[in-house]
Amino acid sequence: MLTLTPSQVRLGRSAKNKAEAIRLVGQVMVESGFIAPGYVDSMLRREQVSATYLGHGIAIPHGLPEARDLVRQTGVVVVQFPQGVAWSPEGHARLVVGIAAKSDEHLQVLANLTGVLGDEARSEALAHTQDVALVVQALNGAAPPPEASDSVPPTFDGPHVQVLSPSPHGLHARPATVLVEVVRRFRADVTVHHDGRQANARSLLSLLHLGARGGTSLTLTATGDDADAALRALRDAFQSGLGEEAPATPTATAAPKATVTLDYEGTLVAGLSASPGIAAGPVWAFQRERLVVEERAADAVQEHRKLEEALAGAAAELRQLHEGFLKKAGAQRAAIFKAHLELLDDPEMLTETHGHIDTGLSAGASWRRVFESRAESLAKLAEPTLAARAADLRDVGRRVLRPLANVVEGEATFPDHPVVLLAEDLAPSDTAKLDPAMVLGLCTAGGGTTSHTAIIARSLDLPAVVAAGPSVLDLRNGQLCILDGDAGVLVLKPSERDHTKAATHRERTRVRREEEKLERYRPAITLDGKRVEVAANIAEAAEAQKAVDAGGEGVGLMRTEFLFLKRDDPPDEEEQLHAYRTMVRALNGLPLILRTLDIGGDKHVPYLSLPAEANPFLGVRGIRLCFEREDLFRTQLRAILRASKEGPVRIMYPMVATPEELTKARAITESVRLEVGADPVETGIMIEVPSAVMMADRLARDVSFFSIGTNDLTQYVLAMDREHPVLAPQADGLHPAVLRMVDLTVRAARKAGIWVGACGGIAGDPSGAVVLSGLGVTELSVAIPSIPAVKALLRGISMADAEAVAREALESGNAAEVRALVRDLLARKGAKA
Ligand code: PEP
Ligand code: MG
């Protein structure tokens, strides 16, 4: 927690208005040595961007990111305005907490402060107190409660209750968290006795160390004025299961899309199939950094402070994760992060760590020693669910350790042997750095089938399962598993038979793919003589050559925004020109569709400092962002148009929703074209917003082609976030609602005499390839490894059959019915969906 000293608090002040109050707060910050005077102006400007009123009479003014250089030292000051200062339409501020923070740590500090102060009665008291110590105490947090375990008498003379540990998993993290929460509502010191051992009920770790298995007897004793009330509440909480529900069977949550083709004997963790293939090997949790800490430190006071800051930061992160999962995946799945939060708040661990610091160890070394030793002893517990909490503790431990590490070598530690990689989620920049030779497959707790993790996994030809839930993060490194990217499951503790079946399946797939590869340069001409072009989706210059080598008939989608990720500033015109030229040359006359920047949504580019949005997928992304940042757009267009002098380049605008946007994008392109003296190039748009479908006839007048982005079109048509771990199974691009949109688009395009391609994920899915072709899409742009398979598939069917299936698909009730139609067709033809 942030350490506040009395000299940083001013009570009983008044200000005529917000600006005056901020200047006063700024003055205290300057006096405290936290900021240079210029920072105050930035604090005032920040209020114009977004008011910093939190509620309950609390405001937290701070400067804009660009003024970070004016911060001298991280710190907070508190100024009390008992009469209040009008701050925002939501209320008057009476406690104003000025924040100075280097880097992004202030976000975490803020969340921490809201936790301390966001309590109406408490903030009311603090708004009027004349006691500086009360404010200091409130911000710094209470001292850890005294150890209870040693003072508990062996016989239970005082108030006590007997309860049973929840079944079937015992007192593991989630129920123990609930227990801690109940105890915290009371002042009483509560001790849990089990099997001759005792635990402080305020300490999650202490409770976990009891190792109480499901259904075993526990005695709770309490001392203090509200001991009886606390015990009654605890007994009720135990009786209602401490928040535990009957364990879910993994297959019950299996995605409708995931058809388990292999009847595994091992334990299944159901997710979604994001990239096909089967891998078997040890699991390995992806961590972005390698943390190295100094062993000793000279200044213990500073180390204590560093530890508190690191704890506060980690707590804020976990609160954010908890909230995010709560919104997206429900309380059950979010509970793990709450349990992690409780682990952080463990008084025994903290006391022990501070104790090590007092002996001269650094904060990082002390913290690591404590959490590692506890994790080790947890791992030794007989009850597997409890032992698995060791992974939680290590996860939380690393989260705190990160800011305490003196050396963070490289951004991530990558495995040096082939593994199935587990991660919360993977950013495009993480996946891009993976060595495919060391990664057998990917399994993420979150994400969706059209998320960029999935897109990249497909392009790297790695089996991937997404939305498997946070339980995968509990797995111990080295544990053997089978990752079935076709079925969308992770199989734990696979049997011999599971391994044999998976190996047979893999071998069959390998042979089929070898055959398809031999034929990859043959065009995809259906049995009745209709041609469908199969092109590649790429994300970097070097992939153009790979696309050609895989039999691609051009590039149907180059996601140029990927050139802007993984770096600290945007590529300039020359750098982009070099990348686009490399592609044009590799394609050697084959067409290259360069999609202009599609930043926003899930593709963050931190250095652009774009304002955070409540709904980024509905915000300033794609072409909208290009208009906001016309400088970036023009630079990109210059590079594209200069590259177009060397070969067939087409320009495609993303996220176009209205004819006006298209007109504006074309006008800018035309002016840039005249500037660089290039010949006109064909332009097209992505069809990925429902309004573009409905206006397709108008839009078609001004472009040479459409390319349907089924990933976004699906999310916008079905109103389901493409990364949503719970909704993702239903967000299937083969839903008839989406297919009807495709149908409308093709009809409008045909009338206008332009061609339609598709470049979303379902274009490379066998069922999608058949139905889209049947609907009249004449170019499928797919991940490079899928090119030979899609071509082979189309060569094995007639267009008349595909059209018949497509007609039926439009009349179907859901995506599963559509998939069944294609399966039937392919079964008749002896092919495989
Ligand atoms: C799409 O939305 O289908 C698409 C191809 O674009 P992206 O996945 O890059 O948003
Ligand atoms: Mg898109």
Summarize pLDDT for 227-266 with one digit per residue, the tens. 888 898 888 888 777 866 543 332 222 223 333 345 788 8
Structure tokens at 430: 């993480």
* Average pLDDT estimate for 451-459: 79
Say what the pLDDT of residue 84 is.
Answer: 92
3-state class (DSSP) for residue 274:
strand
Q: How far is the CA of 478 from the centre of ligand 1 (A)?
A: 35
Q: Do residue 144 and residue 214 come from a single domain?
A: no
3-state class (DSSP) for residue 83:
strand
List of residues 6+ apart from 824 with CB closer than 8 A: none
CATH number at residue 88: 3.40.930.10
* Average pLDDT estimate for 110-120: 57
Residue 682, strand partner residues: 650
Q: Do residue 164 and residue 116 come from a single domain?
A: no
Burial class (CB within 10 angstroms; exposed 0-12, middle 13-18, buried 19+) of 566: middle
Candidates 450, 538, 564, 706: which one to mutate for ligand 1, based on the most atoms within 8 Å of Cβ? 450
Q: Do residue 70 and residue 175 come from a single domain?
A: no
Residue 586 belongs to a domain: yes
Of the bound ligands, which one is closest to the alpha carbon of residue 597? 1
Say what the pLDDT of residue 148 is.
Answer: 38
Which candidate in 443, 481, 626, 759 is catalytic?
759
Which candidate in 193, 194, 356, 452 is catalytic?
452
Confidence band of 745 (pLDDT split at 50, 70, 90): very high
CB-facing half-sphere around the CA of 450: CA atoms within 13 A: 29
Closest CA to 232 of 190, 203, 172: 190
Residue 509 belongs to a domain: no
Range name among 547-551, 605-609, 789-793 with the lowest pLDDT average: 605-609
C-alpha to C-alpha distance for 156 and 730, rounded to whole angstroms? 55
3-state class (DSSP) for residue 120:
helix
Give the domain-ending residue among 239, 267, 297.
239
Say what the pLDDT of residue 253 is.
Answer: 25
Say what the pLDDT of residue 829 is.
Answer: 77
What is the tens place of the pLDDT at every residue in 305-335?
Answer: 999 999 999 999 888 878 876 765 566 557 7
How does DSSP assign 447-499, residue by residue? --TTSHHHHHHHHHT--EEE---GGGGGPPTT-EEEEETTTTEEEES--HHHH
C-alpha to C-alpha distance for 539 and 517, rounded to whole angstroms? 22
CATH number at residue 186: 3.30.1340.10
Answer whether 0.75 is exceeded by the pTM: no
* Average pLDDT estimate for 758-782: 97
Q: Do residue 192 and residue 113 come from a single domain?
A: no
Instruction: Out of 61-75, 289-303, 698-712, give the one with best mean pLDDT.
Output: 698-712
CB of 69 within 8 A of CB of 138?
no
Q: What percent of the chain has pLDDT over 90?
A: 47
Q: Do residue 141 and residue 168 come from a single domain?
A: no
More confident site: 247 or 432: 432
Phi, psi of 757 (to 5 degrees): -110, 175
Residue 458 belongs to a domain: no
Of the bound ligands, which one is closest to the alpha carbon of residue 561? 1
Q: How far is the CA of 738 from the centre of ligand 1 (A)?
A: 14
How does DSSP assign 370-393, residue by residue? HHHHHHHHHHT-SSHHHHTHHHHH
Residue 394 belongs to a domain: yes
* Average pLDDT estimate for 616-631: 94
Q: How far is the CA of 702 from the centre of ligand 2 (A)?
A: 20
Closest atom of ligand 1 to 760 CA is: 3
Closest atom of ligand 1 to 710 CA is: 3
Residue 743 belongs to a domain: yes
Q: How far is the CA of 598 from the centre of ligand 1 (A)?
A: 9
More confident site: 115 or 565: 565
Q: Do residue 188 and residue 129 come from a single domain?
A: no
List of residues 6+ apart from 257 with CB closer than 8 A: 272, 273, 449, 488, 729, 732, 815, 816, 819
Mean pLDDT across the chain, nearest whole number? Answer: 85
* Average pLDDT estimate for 626-639: 97
Closest atom of ligand 1 to 537 CA is: 5
Give the domain-ending residue among 117, 148, 179.
148
C-alpha to C-alpha distance for 195 and 217, rounded to whole angstroms? 8
Range name among 6-20, 80-94, 319-333, 763-777 with the lowest pLDDT average: 319-333
* Average pLDDT estimate for 645-668: 98
Q: Give residue 723's domain range.
A: 524-829
* Average pLDDT estimate for 689-716: 97
Residue 452 annotated as catalytic: yes
* Average pLDDT estimate for 186-207: 84
What is the tens place of the pLDDT at every residue in 26-74?
Answer: 999 998 888 888 889 888 877 776 567 777 788 888 877 667 778 888 7
Which candidate in 169, 172, 209, 735 is catalytic?
172
Residue 759 annotated as catalytic: yes
Inform me whether the pLDDT recorded for 296 exceeds 50. Answer: yes
- Distance from first CA to last CA of the chain, Å, rounded? 55
Say what the pLDDT of residue 724 is.
Answer: 72
Inform me whether the pLDDT recorded for 167 exceeds 70. Answer: no
Q: Do residue 184 and residue 221 come from a single domain?
A: yes
Confidence band of 443 (pLDDT split at 50, 70, 90): very high
User: Backbone dihedral region of 93: left (phi > 0), alpha (psi from -120 to 50 degrees) or beta?
Assistant: beta
What is the tens place of the pLDDT at every residue in 493-528?
Answer: 999 999 998 899 889 989 999 999 999 999 999 999
Instruction: Out of 223-232, 439-448, 604-613, 679-688, give the one with best mean pLDDT.
Output: 679-688
* Average pLDDT estimate for 569-577: 96
Give the domain-ending residue among 239, 259, 279.
239
* Average pLDDT estimate for 214-235: 85
Q: How far is the CA of 707 from the centre of ligand 1 (A)?
A: 10
Closest atom of ligand 1 to 761 CA is: 3
Closest CA to 271 of 255, 256, 248: 255
Inform me whether the pLDDT recorded for 343 exceeds 50. Answer: yes
C-alpha to C-alpha distance for 343 and 349, rounded to whole angstroms? 9
Inform me whether the pLDDT recorded for 144 exceeds 80. Answer: no
Confidence band of 147 (pLDDT split at 50, 70, 90): very low
Residue 187 belongs to a domain: yes
Q: Do residue 375 and residue 305 come from a single domain?
A: yes
Inform me whether the pLDDT recorded for 439 exceeds 50. Answer: yes
- Largest alpha-carbon pair distance within the chain? 93
Q: Do residue 184 and residue 49 come from a single domain?
A: no
Residue 442 belongs to a domain: no
* Average pLDDT estimate for 102-120: 55
Say what the pLDDT of residue 49 is.
Answer: 61
Say what the pLDDT of residue 763 is.
Answer: 97
Which residues' Cβ are closer than 6 Å to ligand 1?
A: 557, 559, 598, 688, 709-712, 759-760
Say what the pLDDT of residue 261 is.
Answer: 46
3-state class (DSSP) for residue 658:
coil
Of the bound ligands, which one is closest to the alpha carbon of residue 459? 1
Q: Do residue 547 and residue 679 come from a single domain?
A: yes
Of the bound ligands, which one is closest to the alpha carbon of residue 707? 1
Phi, psi of 454 (to 5 degrees): -65, -40
Burial class (CB within 10 angstroms; exposed 0-12, middle 13-18, buried 19+) of 531: middle
Residue 256 belongs to a domain: no
C-alpha to C-alpha distance for 382 and 172, rounded to whole angstroms? 12
Instruction: Out of 339-343, 433-437, 463-467, 740-744, give the one with best mean pLDDT.
Output: 740-744
* Average pLDDT estimate for 768-790: 97
Range name among 442-456, 473-487, 678-692, 808-822 with the lowest pLDDT average: 442-456
Burial class (CB within 10 angstroms; exposed 0-12, middle 13-18, buried 19+) of 421: buried
Q: What is the dihedral of CA 583, 586, 589, 595, to 10 degrees?
A: -20
Q: How far is the CA of 718 from the centre of ligand 2 (A)?
A: 15
Closest residue to atom 8 of ligand 1, CA basis? 711
User: Contacts by 328-331 with C-beta closer than 8 Å and gap 24+?
Assistant: 328/446, 328/721, 328/724, 328/725, 328/726, 329/446, 329/469, 329/725, 329/726, 330/726
Q: What percent of the chain has pLDDT over 70?
A: 86
Candidates 711, 718, 723, 781: which one to mutate for ligand 1, based on the most atoms within 8 Å of Cβ? 711
Say what the pLDDT of residue 831 is.
Answer: 62
Confidence band of 408 (pLDDT split at 50, 70, 90): low
3-state class (DSSP) for residue 542:
coil
Strand pairing category for 217-223 and 160-164: antiparallel
Residue 430, H or E segment: helix 428-432
Strand pairing category for 489-492 and 217-223: unpaired
Number of structural domains the chain divides into: 4
Q: Do residue 164 and residue 55 come from a single domain?
A: no
Q: How far is the CA of 317 from the centre of ligand 2 (A)?
A: 29
* Average pLDDT estimate for 593-608: 88
Closest atom of ligand 1 to 557 CA is: 5
Closest residue to atom 1 of ligand 1, CA basis? 709
C-alpha to C-alpha distance for 478 and 5, rounded to whole angstroms? 47
Confidence band of 549 (pLDDT split at 50, 70, 90): very high
Q: Do residue 659 and residue 589 come from a single domain?
A: yes
Burial class (CB within 10 angstroms; exposed 0-12, middle 13-18, buried 19+) of 607: exposed
Structure tokens at 391: 């992974």
In our burial notation (b when 16+ CB lie closer than 10 A, e otherwise), range 261-278 reads ebebebebbbbbbbbbbb
